[in-house]
Structure 1
């Protein structure tokens, strides 16, 4: 088995393949604090005001805290499952569902990478107008070149991942810390904040509920990576550190996200916040202290995003490689090069990222499309993890507390499915349906039974859903 991104991180940390608690916490924080946090002011202001944002973060924070606690419990209850979030789906519901979970996580990583290139182009577009807001042909060319340049770099082998992760995590947190300090002490206006309490002039509770729902895909996107320590659990120095790192990292990041969102409402009127170009955090601090603030956030974002792109590309390749070594994806994806990199899985990851970048270019809003699609695709692995935790709770001791925790997480993930709406459910099915061909090939290569009866029914349902989605796109009933 090749040395994956996680293996490289551990190897760099003393060549022992053991991760300490601080390194696991850094992995959780580094995975979650990426491009999304820099977009929060505008993205939230488009949907709601202060009250709606507080409710949204309460729901999202509470729901994801339940998921963090689920990962903590599962790391102890099933220490044999070392492949992370997708391993739970396979253990609980069979290889076909497990493969869907792995595929969704992999595809989500590829779409998330698109947001990085869109934000890079949009940030540089402030000084290079040809890049626009990441939605021009020049931006598409820049993003495409970046995908394959990084592909070549990664294919040569990465043995300094621990140092890279530390540097990029600092690069993310320093400008964000300065952002919070500057806004809190120099740019915040209580009068502006109170003017932004409501998004709707009618102060309707019903409208407020719709506004909160509209923010859910954004919160899912920014919380992606909460399972980071779980994915790399086999490299933990102590098993109990996995759960501690997950909860500690999550609480710190939640506080950061809430602070960035809420303080921004005290700088500009909601309508102006909503109209800021991405990364909107740069526009907020520029409005407070002048152009130097925007440059500071922009430079921090560029470093952060490039590091995050490297990490998520490695993670995407690792997920696909793990699925192949687990007999659930074609054998070709197990191939590694001389540098120990899963080269076929890496090529597939870069290729799918390229496809999604082109699709995002033809959408009405490249950043919003890639952000929301990432969330829609990756909700399934979280839903299946919560369902697996419920299954374990029903079958184990001390059922009441474990079942309540699992049920709460399951209800939250079901709400996320409702929140994303039929449009993104169908689009997600369009992405998922072709994955069955990979699964069929993998099972036949190994002479294994392809489907059980229930898996066959699931395959038919996904295929029908994807067909409906394609029909809706072709007839204009569904757009993005």
Structure 2
């Protein structure tokens, strides 16, 4: 893409890319997702872990943007610089594939939202839903080919438009907030102290539901298990934190990249916590757990009536379409940048007359189309897409954190400017540990499913090396490649035999 003055993005546009990328499908699914997994106390722990870990990762992105200004291609370039060609490629492939599958989850949620009004769309994975989603997909394809600047401008408008319904949801729930119900959902146990709460809720016709909520929590899962079951969801809602970093070469000032990342992250974190915690104060946990997605719409409907569901549904459609645009831009940019740095086949450096990486856009949308069709064969398409997206993207995040740790540990770039050295080291250690913890929390299933992408997808790496007439792997990379391929084979065998279900 031509890097002209006209294509430069202000700090507000960069911040909007961060917020627009993060505020998408995930926030509208939080009440039911957390209601199924844990009570208010577990939710606070989950957001504390996720918020702290992702904030550390945001600080790593900020530090790398300042200390490695020459690395202006976002996520994958840090992995390549720090750990070699194959892991750099794997980072680009994982981030790109995760983005594609994330966009599939957006389409599923759009159709599930419309399914509440038009049953033909069901839960977003019917034939009609896939056909309509395909029309939208190729409509956006045409928009993307018209240019990044115009698409980024539309995303900025969509970002502000979708925040309004979320703020309205928060304000209304603050007004309707029931402290006693929140206390019951917060503790979620059979403590005799809850007797007074139950008596209060009986006046409102909630006693039966509340008793069910207590029963469903007591003696089932440990608090650790409850928190663990929310981890991939919390990762999903923070995906997009790297938006400003990916578009660093378009920034008006280099200093804007880190600032836009941190400011955007903190703003989104506040919204996520409020949406989650306030929901415990208006509905019993058992009722939250039973809601269809998007659960935020049903929660508001329970408080204000049918118009609340319609209002949130409109906001969701704006939010998801705007986030889809952001993620499509990110996906195409990653392929283009990786090819430009000889980590992907050179065909992905192809640009059209408007300076758009057209080959990257085409492959991205063809891949999304294939995954859309595959949703027809999944009973839980939205949840599967959400968690697989998180698992795929955690590998690139882990490599970014590890590179930040490597710089701080070896002292590279700190020889002359030592300010912040110890702080950066601590941030990088925490971010690396957090990424590893999230991979563990996601479980072996999603690691194996990710290998199905990383393994066969490595053919693109082999094509790239062949174009360069270069050696495919060094000894360490060869071992990593063999492990990934074996994991992919195990995953395919597990799916075929029913050990892993999708």
1:391 counterpart (389, 392, 406): 406
> Following superposition of structure 1 onto structure 2, how do residues 211-222 of structure 1 map, counting pairs within 5 Å?
211-222=226-237
Shift of 1:340: 2.6
Q: Return the match for 2:342 from 297, 316, 327.
A: 327
Deviation at 1:476, TM superposition (A): 0.9
CA change 1:158–1:387 in 2 (3 A) is closer
The equivalent of 2:11 in structure 1 is 21
Number of residue pairs aligned between Structure 1 and Structure 2: 469
Aligned equivalents of 1:17, 1:118: Cα separation in 2 = 32
Aligned-pair distance for 1:19? 2.9
Taking the aligned partners of 1:341 and 1:367, their CA distance within structure 2 comes to 30
Q: Does 1:427 align with 2:449?
A: yes
Is the partner of 2:73 in helix, strand or coil?
A: coil
Determine if contact 2:20/2:322 at 8 Å carries over to the other structure: no
Question: Cα deviation per residue 1:24-61 (whole Å; 9 max; x = unaligned)?
Answer: 22221111111111111111111111111000000000
Name which of 105, 119, 140 aligns with 1:115. 105
Q: Of 436, 439, 446, which residue of structure 1 is paired with 2:458?
A: 436
Q: What's the TM-score once normalised by structure 1's chain length?
A: 0.94
Aligned twin of 1:226:
241
Structure 2 SS opposite 1:434: helix
1:370 and 2:385 correspond: yes
Distance in 2 of aligned mates of 1:127 and 1:180: 24
Contact map agreement 1:110 1:313 (CA 8 A) in 2: yes
Deviation readout 1:254-290 (Å, 9 max, x if unpaired): 0110000000111111111112111111001110001
Q: Distance in 2 between matches of 1:213 and 1:82?
A: 35
Instruction: Tell me the residue number matched to 2:483.
Output: 461
CA deviation map 1:396-439 (0-9, x unaligned): 14553322221111111110010000010100111111121001
CA 1:314 to 1:19, structure 2 compared with 1: closer, same or farther past 3 Å?
A: closer
| Partner of residue 184 from structure 2, selected from 195, 208, 214 | 195
Cα distance, 1:358 vs. partner? 2.3
Q: How far did 1:206 drift?
A: 6.6
- 2:86 maps to 96
Q: Is contact 2:35–2:286 with CA below 8 Å preserved after alignment?
A: yes
Q: Cα RMSD over matched residues? A: 1.7
Q: Of residues 42, 46, 51 in structure 2, which corresponds to 1:61?
A: 51
CA offset digits 1:127-180 (Å, max 9, x no partner): 111111112121122222222232233234454234312211012200000110
- Residue of structure 1 equivalent to 2:205: none
2:22–2:323: 8 Å Cα contact kept in structure 1? no
Cα offset, 1:183, TM superposition: 1.0
The Cα offsets for residues 342-363 of structure 1, whole Å up to 9 and x where unpaired, read as: 2211111011111222223312
Which residue does the alignment assign to 1:37? 27
C-alpha deviation, 1:205, in angstroms:
10
* Alignment partner of 1:358 out of 373, 376, 398: 373
The answer to whether 1:170 aligns with 2:160 is yes
Please, which runs of 5 or more residues in structure 2 have no aligned partner?
Answer: 190-214
* Counterparts in 2 of 1:368 and 1:329: CA distance versus 1, 3 Å: same
Aligned-pair distance for 1:449? 2.0
Instruction: Confirm whether residue 269 of structure 1 aligns to residue 284 of structure 2.
Output: yes
TM-score computed with the length of structure 2 as normaliser: 0.90
Instruction: Quote the residue 1:143 is aligned against.
Output: 133
Q: Deviations over 1:430-467 (max 9, x none)?
A: 11111210010011112122111111111101001111
C-alpha separation between the residues in 1 aligned to 2:77 and 2:344?
A: 14
Q: Is the 8 A contact 2:50 2:234 kept in 1?
A: yes
Relative to structure 1, the CA distance from residue 48 to residue 451 in structure 2 (aligned partners, 3 Å threshold; closer, same or farther) is same
Deviates more, 1:188-197 or 1:431-440: 188-197
What is the aligned counterpart of 1:447 among 460, 463, 469? 469
Task: Provide the rounded CA distance (Å) in 2 between the counterparts of 1:165 and 1:342.
Answer: 18
- What residue number does 1:236 align with? 251
Q: Which has the larger radius of gyration?
A: 2
Equivalences for residues 116-135 of structure 1 within 5 A = 116-135=106-125
- Deviation of 1:203 after TM superposition, in Å, equals 5.3
Separation in 1, partners of 2:293, 2:58: 29
Shift of 1:337: 2.3
Deviation at 1:235, TM superposition (A): 2.2
For the 8 Å contact 2:173–2:279, the answer to whether it is kept is yes
